[in-house]
Structure 1
Amino acid sequence: MQQLVQGIHRFQREQFSQDQKLFETLVDGQHPLALFITCSDSRIDPSRLTQTKPGELFIQRTAGNIVPPYGSILGGEAATIEYAVAALKVRDIVICGHSHCGAMAGLLTPEMVDKMPAVRAYLQHAEATRRIVEENYSHLTDPAKRLTLTVEENVLVQLESLRTHPAVAAAIGRGDLKLHGWVYKFETGDVFAFDPDQNQFLPLQDVTSPVSEKQRTLPPI
């Protein structure tokens, strides 16, 4: 805790004073560039990753960057998504998974979360991810590769769940919103994006089409 307190003092003394005018302008409201949905994992810093300033990124964090389908839980996730799209009028939504995701490891190995009933229940919203990996990639036995594939498949599954939210579906229909699927490899700094034309994750700089422009199909086995 002392490290956190010292960090606040350092922020107030150094960074806030440098950007005070920026923070003062935020009193008038926020106009974020995108809604960024990612995992709660402490190894991910969305603002640092995207090099965005306060007011530029609306962030939602959940275990495994899970987006429960609309109506299954009318809680913080649905409210955040609806507010970002309907009130803040974001033009883009990114769902960003990451390497070595503990939630996805728990999805593949249920005994890891046996004593965490809330986590186990929440992971049910990624059941489609588990079934896709189990039934279509049974030949993939290497644990590291299997986890990486699960992280990627889960991003795509959660993008489909995102489409069930009425505000999202309506905005996509009007052409006002685009969806993007990313995976961040934090140990190398690489970011991969799903390319609907190639039907696979590619380095971010090589992808030009958002996922929302085409329906996703299952990658070849």
Structure 2
Amino acid sequence: MYCPFPIWCIAASTCRSNRDKVRGLLYQGERSEWDISLGAAVPVRSDDNAARRGMPDLDPTVEIGPQWSYKLRQPWGDVTFRLPLRKVLAVDLPDVRDVGTVFTPSVALDRDHHPWPGWHASIATGPVFGDRNYFAYYYGVDARHATADRPAWAATSGYGGWQLTLALTKRFKQLWVGGFLRADHLGGAAFENSPLVRDRLSWTGGIGISWIFLESAQTVDSVR
């Protein structure tokens, strides 16, 4: 989907940019396309987390893999189905290790025209599926880290919960601003019984600001 680093552009057959993003595009049809999907997660210090205290810290992770998308254009917005399959890598430079695979199909509604001109709003929702290694990285408990309140627990692959994400962005000439709010519901997840799971519903959010200091001399209309 996004291609923020040159290495991701090399991995794809084409690297294209428009007013919204830079991405590695593999194939584009009238309604469907293949591209490179990226994701990331921040590190976690176990000493700052009551459930993980005494366990190793979690390194930041980077996710990368192919994504197939299918878009339906409607008068009230664009509906897009996305099927991203990503390999997850834990990064502790100079070491990078494989910690599993994640599959996050979703359906998204995007709107450019609404009561606030120039703003772009989107809502996306869908399930999460992961393999045993992926869930073990976040929710597994080895016997050597087990305590009276935290028994050993071995992960299995399968369903990993449901996500709902709201996002709002706007481009002001050389300035880009955006924010998101995401809800994760873990009821019924393969790791629901892990002693590291304390809540079945969690909320995360964030804001971002980018200054666009350089553009190509020749631009084209955005293709959505």
Q: Which has the higher strand share?
A: 2
Decide: shared fold, TM above 0.5.
no
> Over alpha carbons, which structure has the higher Rg?
2
